[in-house]
Amino acid sequence: MEGNKVKIITTKQEICQWAKQVKTSGKSVGFVPTMGFLHKGHLSLVHEAKQANDHVVMSIFVNPLQFGRGEDYTAYPRDEERDKKLAKEAGVDILFMPSVNEMYRKQQSIKLMVTERTDKLCGAKRPGHFDGVVTVLTKFFHLIMPNRAYFGLKDAQQFAVVAALVDELDFPIEIIPVNTVRVPSGLAISSRNVYLTIDEKKQAPALYQSLLLGKKLIEEGETSSTVIIKTVSSYLNKQLGETVKIDYVELLSFPELEEIAEVSRKVILAVAVQFSAARLIDNIMVDS
Amino acid sequence: MEGNKVKIITTKQEICQWAKQVKTSGKSVGFVPTMGFLHKGHLSLVHEAKQANDHVVMSIFVNPLQFGRGEDYTAYPRDEERDKKLAKEAGVDILFMPSVNEMYRKQQSIKLMVTERTDKLCGAKRPGHFDGVVTVLTKFFHLIMPNRAYFGLKDAQQFAVVAALVDELDFPIEIIPVNTVRVPSGLAISSRNVYLTIDEKKQAPALYQSLLLGKKLIEEGETSSTVIIKTVSSYLNKQLGETVKIDYVELLSFPELEEIAEVSRKVILAVAVQFSAARLIDNIMVDS
């Protein structure tokens, strides 16, 4: 029966031993890194990982290195017992839940720095965020030695940065993108949706609607970045009203995340909107 | 018969495939990274690697990333045919000799930076050198997935930086230090010894003699860094005369490479001397 054998590991030594043993057995490992507080988006990553691998490892670790000053590291939502239950039901084999002290025994004297793709989208407001992301992932990849690691496209910027990390540093790992999970209205699933008011919940599907509108424009032949961004912004403004602040509407090449004047290849259209107590993001890829 | 089966690999894809196969077989891999132009120092690393591992991989790659402006990257001595012969005789199983384009297909957007241990010893004059070293080693470690990697203590600063890299980023690799190989006079073996004049060759053993003198002082109870450095410097000046420039005499904690006033734990005593056409370095560890 699926999901009856989830093993909790909290030390680097134990996960490393487990990984070495699996390597020797020739079995494959799929890895799903998370910060916990699991929802259907995370579970879809597990689902994908189970299709292609003999074992699935999920990490739950709220990584202090990727939170900036003034960000919500200590307030980040946690619910370990519920996470364990959900991971078990989803069929996770190993749940790696190290403490901060276990992961970072001392100050890093060797640092990983992301020098491109960081001044766009959400990265622009989170200096150092992706340095923290690639540092913790590098450590996890070394400890767990997965064949494949799974990342949701909800955070497409993170996916692009991680794909570059693995490519440029020759990690023997395949990075698998997994489509964003949505409720029937089109709203992307996020831990932050619970912070929406009743009225905002009705407005929030406009994010995805605006992306579909932009996609339709491109597919119909519109190539001007300015026109597409303007149309999407106007639609959002109209649907959301004046009290909701649009943080950005960006159209970038993918996975380079470079600004483009003309759409002529694979692009990402992304939006971020600030509601009263929640900032929501969403994006869509278009192959033109 | 030893050394009859050295296999030359030049692509990342092929070495990666080989490494994955070996991992599954449960056999161990020892890795000896070099920049070629092999001498007895390199071969002693191979010798150590052969004792403890089923397979030995040697890389020969003159890494442009670790050479600064004005350094001798293009002039760095190369002799591939001789290297292949020596590696084969020493019993290397796989010789990994990638081109620069193979190793660096594009500009790195994710950078490794060494933020400590770099302003001491030879690092002080080579800004960015160790960033290049840890970057290429990270790539090699991912491609080759060795159980153990071997580094000579001749470059003790490099060993300390690499040990920190592996420790802080949780590489599943053991870093093995190997003692400096010396000719009977005590002179450390180095590719650069050939650039010494006949007179300088007679003087050069003074480097190691000065280190032994410092070690003796410490073992006899001297704890003042200043006294030890002064005594070693005076000895060197006397033996080498005025035409030879002492680049540094340093006494540091090991492996932290921090300056110390009092010797009270494991330390490294290191010297660098500029002869007419060669700059020689040497060091000694003392456990006090």
- Cβ distance B168 to A115 less than 8 Å, yes or no, reads no
How far apart, in whole angstroms, are the C-alpha atoms of residue A210 and residue A261? Answer: 20
Q: Looking at the 3D structure of chain A, how many domains does it have?
A: 2
- Cβ distance A110 to B165 less than 8 Å, yes or no, reads yes
Residue among B59, B110, B166 with most chain A CBs within 10 A, to mutate = B110
Helix, strand, or coil (residue A163): helix
Burial B16-53 (b: 16+ CB within 10 A, else e): bebbeebbeeeebbbbbbbbbbbeebbbbbbbbbbeeb
Return the pLDDT at B4. Answer: 64
Burial A41-73 (b: 16+ CB within 10 A, else e): bbbbbbbbbbeebebbbbbbbbbebbbeeeeee
A-B contacts at Cβ under 8 angstroms: 88
Helix, strand, or coil (residue B269): strand
Q: Which of A223, A210, A216 is closest to A270 using CA atoms?
A: A210
Same domain for A218 and A83: no
CATH of the domain at B229: 3.30.1300.10
- In one-letter notation, the amino acid at residue B188 is A
Same domain for A270 and A205: yes
Is residue B156 domain-resident? yes
Same domain for B161 and B73: yes
Name which of A108, A143, A169 is nearest B110 (Cβ-Cβ).
A169
Annotated binding residue A35: yes
Same domain for B282 and B212: yes
Compare A241 and B12 and report the one with higher pLDDT. B12
ipTM: 0.93
Q: B250 vs chain A: nearest CA distance in angstroms?
A: 21
Where a domain ends, among A152, A178, A204?
Answer: A178
Q: B134 vs chain A: nearest CA distance in angstroms?
A: 9
Domain span at residue A223 reads: 191-283
Backbone angles phi, psi at A198, to 5 degrees: -60, -45
Q: For residue A160, is pLDDT > 60?
A: yes
Q: B43 vs chain A: nearest CA distance in angstroms?
A: 27
- State mean pLDDT over A194-207: 94
Question: Which residue among the candidates B42, B47, B129, B142 is catalytic per the annotation?
Answer: B42
Same domain for A162 and A29: yes
How far apart, in whole angstroms, are the C-alpha atoms of residue B181 and residue A118? Answer: 47
Same domain for B210 and B123: no
Same domain for B27 and B155: yes
CATH of the domain at B95: 3.40.50.620
Return the pLDDT at A21. Answer: 94
Name which of A23, A113, A117 is nearest B111 (Cβ-Cβ).
A113
Is residue A186 domain-resident? no
A19: closest chain B residue by CA:
B172
Same domain for A22 and A150: yes
The pLDDT tens digits along chain B (288 residues) read: 444 689 999 999 999 999 999 999 999 999 999 999 999 999 999 999 999 999 999 999 999 999 988 787 888 888 999 999 999 999 999 999 999 999 998 889 999 999 999 999 988 888 999 999 999 999 999 999 999 999 999 999 999 999 999 999 999 999 999 999 999 999 999 988 988 999 999 999 999 999 999 999 999 999 999 999 999 999 999 999 888 999 999 999 999 999 999 999 899 999 999 999 889 999 999 997
Same domain for B151 and B30: yes
Q: Which residues of A touch B (CB under 8 A)?
A: 12, 16, 19-20, 23-24, 26, 106, 108-117, 134-135, 138-139, 142-143, 145, 161, 164-165, 168-172
Q: What is the pLDDT of residues A93-138, one digit of tens each?
A: 999 999 999 999 888 999 999 999 999 998 888 899 999 999 999 9
Is residue B220 domain-resident? yes
Where a domain ends, among B143, B178, B213?
Answer: B178
